[in-house]
Copies of this chain bind each other. A is one copy, B any other.
Amino acid sequence: MDNKIKLRNAGLRPTKQRIIIADILLNGFNRHFTAENLQNEISISGNKMSIATVYNCLKKFKNAGLIKQVESYTDTAIFDTNNVSHHHFLNEETGELIDIDNNEINLIKLPDIPKGFINSGVDVIIKLKKNN
């Protein structure tokens, strides 16, 4: 595999562990996974890796732009006295949320809903950063 080279190009040392992970992840098929998912696949591939290393590698891969992490917006549970359906601005610096009325947003084009499912709600988050 040229995953060794992919790692080098990304500015990462091609360690044994990183190559194992690159072989699993960087094969052209996109997927979502947790650290634990990945550790299991590493086991299945006949290797063994500490969970700390799995997290370390994922962080490096992410910072190098090889993968992304799905944004979560909230480390801790956030409650909201506004119990009407609405969207949010997210101040990326502070984590503060600001309500957006549903009628302030208009989604003109929606993707086809996967067969067998129905749209049960759309959430829009507009991230904010300071203007200069």
Contact = CB atoms under 8 A, between A and B. Distances in A.
Interface of A: 25-26, 29-36, 38, 58, 62, 65-74, 76-83, 88-89, 91-92, 96-101, 104-111, 113-114, 116-131
B109 A30 contact: no
Contacts of A65: 83
A110 B119 contact: no
Nearest to A123: B125
Contacts of A97: 32, 70
B119 A34 contact: no
A39 to B, nearest CB: 12
A89 to B, nearest CB: 7
